[in-house]
Amino acid sequence: MGHLRWLTVLLLLTCTVQFPASANRTFFIDYERDTFMMDGKPFRFVSGSFHYFRALPGSWGQILRSMRAAGLNAVMTYIEWSLHEPTMGTYIWDGIANLEQFIQIAEEEDLYVILRPGPYICAERDMGGFPYWLLTKYPNIKLRTSDPDYLKEVAKWYGELMPRIQKHLYGQGGPVIMVSIENEYGSFAACDRNYLAFLKNLTESYVQNHAVLFTNDGPEQLQCGTIPGVLATLDFGTTNRPDRHWQKLREYQPRGPLVNAEFYPGWLTHWMEPMARVASEPIVSTLKAMLNHGANVNFYMFFGGTNFAFTSGANDGGPGNFDTDITSYDYDAPLDEAGDPTTKYYAIRDAVLEFLPDPGVPVPVKLPKMKLESVRLQSYGSLLSNYARRMLSKFSFSSEKTLGFEALNQHSGLILYETYIPKQLRRDPMLLKVEDLKDRAYVHVDGILIGILSRENAIDSIPISLGIGNRLQLMVENQGRINFRNANDFKGILGTVILNGANELTNWNMTGFPLDNYLLLQDYIDQYSEHDLKVKSFSSMNIYHCGFEIYTNEIYDTYLDTTGWGKGVIFINGFNLGRYWPLVGPQITLYVPRHILRKGNNSITVIEYQMEKRGDAVITFSGMPNLNGP
């Protein structure tokens, strides 16, 4: 009963604003007729998912117009808590986080809007959209349950978010017709009914019947995902028998409109996998079968976009139960990563227009792309140098035991763990083992890279020979927190570091490099020109930088080709394009949106984690993407 009292108290504390309904605007479910009703008339949607945070605002209108031109009458988007509250109590609502502007542009493009605020969204995003600081503030938090700490933070977040949404609800005169509760909760082992009841009541207190509430689950996960009084919808891809899925839904929801909330025209891709592809013919065939059955359909994704910076997540598969998502979220969607129509787009458009009226919006064409001259970059030292530590580190902290990213209040990037190997333990060779490593450790001795430990590939040990030095340095990379099922994915060295099978190493110094503030990098580069260029050369964690010119009057998108590089992250004009890893692929190019480029002077900064580039620090710009290499 303690959790139930918490639910009551939190709901009483939640402040909502009562709006009068707009005259003659209603959107609700007619369960007797198995349909949605809009302003007294039956309504059906064919929608597409487009996450505003995966494209720059300058592209939103173009992409939404292309969706409308395909015959779609709605757009569905997640709302990412971590984007809007990246640090506790600090909220961002502008730029790529301008959710209300996105809703307004969708309305201008004659699209209804379906919102999915989660608060858990999965979405192949870091920690499933949860802000990392939840793990810092509450190390024992049980996310997606009726844990009082979690409920308190959700209520606080909804108190900031929902008042911004209310005026956009259909019953208030806006375009938002549906709002989700949680996300594929039936796939989560907790199956916490108290939590779902809390979230339903909290969401209803804001939405107030001005839009339809819904849940979404796979056909076999409905038991723990459905909520009494809330529309249940399904998620599934191509199939010869969609009717079997509808039959499964009817076991839990005998009446009401049929909805496939996530119909997959493509799929996600991890590093070290081939690019996921789905052929057009089965997509169109399944779509027509669903529409002939009277169903409503949302394509997940219609436009995928890009996981810029450190926003891509991971899944719990592969040798180490950890597979990281690539930076591109192209998803083999009808609109590609740059928002251009594909052959799949035209095939889907033809099918949709058999069931919905032609909107009369011109069909989009592929926009031009730029191929720029190659750029030769100059080395600006290594993160391992004393100069970089002074200029770029967030903290330097000493402890007997190693501490993780969240304990040190760091979201992204790298943490350097350093200690000395005691004389009495030195053998030739010595075996180093790092327990509970999350995720990847670049092992150095006295600044020399001797190997890599990898959570992904379940490699936690490495031999160390005598004669190369005594200072052990483990640069640990956060490769993205797990986004599906278990989002409590702490980072760093969470276990012990053992030498020769039995000796725990202690007395660690930890230096944080979150790499989330380009102004620090800019200061580092600006002052480096006056720095002693005869500093020690390091074989890894090197910083490269160069300016380059664009002379054309028209600026178009381009693609940065990382062929010949190893693994790292790239900034253009201070904008973090995301992670690159051409050594394993399949993604070779990084998408460069035209909105971050300018005529005249531009700059590129590369932080290369594991390769030393001397005379060959060259990078090229291509007019075409390469997501199918190496």
- Classified as helix, coil or strand, 163 is helix
CA pair distance 528, 615, nearest whole angstrom: 19
- Classified as helix, coil or strand, 423 is helix
- Classified as helix, coil or strand, 251 is helix
Tokens of 420: 């000395």
> Out of 109, 184, 337, 406, which one is annotated catalytic?
184
Long-range (24+ apart) CB contacts under 8 A made by 9-13 are 10/151, 10/152, 10/155, 10/198, 10/202, 11/155, 11/198, 11/201, 11/202, 11/205, 13/155
Residue 549 is among the residues annotated as catalytic for this protein: no
Peptide bond between residue 265 and the one before it cis (omega within 30 degrees of 0): no
Burial class (CB in 10 A: 0-12, 13-18, 19+), 140: exposed
Residue 184 is among the residues annotated as catalytic for this protein: yes
CA pair distance 286, 288, nearest whole angstrom: 5
Residue 145, number of CB atoms within 10 A of its CB: 16
CA pair distance 272, 560, nearest whole angstrom: 19
CA pair distance 200, 206, nearest whole angstrom: 10
CA pair distance 472, 311, nearest whole angstrom: 30
Compute the Cα dihedral for 543, 544, 545, 550 and give only its sign.
negative
Q: What are phi and psi of 600, to 5 degrees?
A: 95, -135
Helix (H) or strand (E) holding 13: helix 2-13
User: Which ranges of 216-327 does DSSP label H, i.e. alpha helix?
Assistant: 222-225, 242-252, 280-292
Tokens of 282: 């089965």
197-218 in b/e form (b: 16+ CB < 10 A) is bbbbebbbebbbebbbbbbbbb
Q: Are 78 and 116 in contact (CB under 8 A)?
A: yes
Tokens of 443: 């092992």
Using alpha carbons, list the distances in angstroms from residue 265 to 303, 304, 306, 365, 514.
10, 11, 17, 20, 35
Q: What angle do CA 331, 335, 337 make, to 5 degrees?
A: 60
Concatenating the DSSP letter of every residue in 93-150 gives: -SGGG-HHHHHHHHHHTT-EEEEE--S---TTBGGGG--THHHHH-TT--TTTT-HHH
Question: Where in the sequence numbering do the catalytic residues fall?
Answer: 184, 262
